[in-house]
Structure 1
């Protein structure tokens, strides 16, 4: 069972460039619907003022659209995680959305000899701060939340955190695997095992309650991205 670390409780961070949503035009119109011609003129002027204010903010509230939560797994702040974050910011996140940066540290029972970095909450917090800086530099109008949780197994912990946060999209970075590895994962998925033995990313893609994507660059020189979902594997997105 995953739990949020006391010193890294989920907190909302508002970028300097963010703006409050514009006042509702509909509410202003309904408030004066039972009055005379003067009230109608006043409401029309109020509507124009609201539209000007909305245009001046550059649509920062997404035109009144309902914002989603897009979770990006930090995974220690590695290159794969940064690629996933850059893809999410440029291809998926809207101005009205909230980006949730998640990292997992292993609990004392689950940490092994190779999990020393995962056991240090301070290091995990630094990785999240680095990725938050990327968000502020590339999309200053987007709200950012950071979440550091502790769990024995990364896959189930990430899936549970996404469910608790009510995210609409889960984005993870993925390393390039060998052909044998990919064939093994496809065979396990076809056998109804849900990718349980295919690694953390494969587990999350198959078991997350929301849409989950694994992202990696096609090549270091560019060439777009390869996207893996529950139904498609290594879909080439040229962008």
Structure 2
């Protein structure tokens, strides 16, 4: 029976403007990226037999589903030497005072999540970006600007009425999957009794991954 790591790798292989307000922080370990194919996991990018470093972008916020997606990306997609970018978006605000207060809280959350990722996997470089703007267009523009290889999103459990209309979070995920210029994965953690994750991409919906 194939291991969960090989299943993840097999599944994944199938598959410019100035910001009005932004902040960033990066955690790194001064160590050359691993170049040996046999020691890499998850999604690998290759050129002439060499493994290239990739940027994995995760949209984060204070929700549990976003944290689950972040940890899944950290453990299942990011490899040694890769760059994990945590992107948190502040909605457009007309009040400068409200923007400063919101920005402070958001920066603290993004930095805390970045520190957690770095503590869990010090061999992965981590950066946290906090940007103000419309959510979908900001994600799409940052994917293009930073040349992300993979975008990971937290996916909410659909409501009973989702067959009639989409919630704002469902529409956000759908728009990112459709328009982001990279492989985009929406991740939802299953209950403990079921286990694993449901993964959605542009080509496949709710693919069950036991990992």
Place the TM-score, normalised by the shorter chain, in its bin.
0.7 to 0.9
CA distance in structure 2 between the partners assigned to 1:182 and 1:96 by the alignment? 42
1:67 lines up with 2:48 in the alignment: no
Match of 2:103 in 1: 121
SS of match in other structure, 1:65 = strand
SS of match in other structure, 1:180 = coil
CA distance in structure 2 between the partners assigned to 1:4 and 1:100 by the alignment? 19
Equivalenced residues, count: 184
Specify which of 132, 143, 149 is matched with residue 150 of structure 1: 132
Gaps of 5+ in 2: 1-16
Q: Is the 8 A contact 1:70 1:169 kept in 2?
A: yes
Q: Output the aligned Cα RMSD.
A: 3.2
Shift of the 237–78 alpha-carbon distance from structure 1 to 2, 3 Å rule, reads same
Q: Show CA shifts across 1:24-78 (max 9, x none).
A: 9xxxxxxxxxxxxxxxxxxxxxxxxxxxxx9xxx98xx9962100000111x232
Match of 1:19 in 2: 31
Match of 1:98 in 2: 83
1:134 positional shift: 2.1
Match of 1:228 in 2: 200
CA distance in structure 1 between the partners assigned to 2:55 and 2:176 by the alignment? 17
Q: Is the 8 A contact 1:217 1:225 kept in 2?
A: yes
Match of 1:37 in 2: none
- The equivalences for 1:36-185 within 5 A come to 65-74=51-60, 76-109=61-94, 120-151=102-133, 153-182=134-163, 184=165
Q: Is the 8 A contact 1:104 1:118 kept in 2?
A: no
| TM-score normalised over the length of structure 2 | 0.75
CA distance in structure 2 between the partners assigned to 1:162 and 1:119 by the alignment? 26
CA distance in structure 2 between the partners assigned to 1:136 and 1:236 by the alignment? 28
Give the structure with the higher percent helix. Answer: 1
Q: Is the 8 A contact 2:156 2:169 kept in 1?
A: no
1:4 positional shift: 5.8
Gaps of 5+ in 1: 25-53, 186-194
Shift of the 197–101 alpha-carbon distance from structure 1 to 2, 3 Å rule, reads closer
1:136 positional shift: 1.6
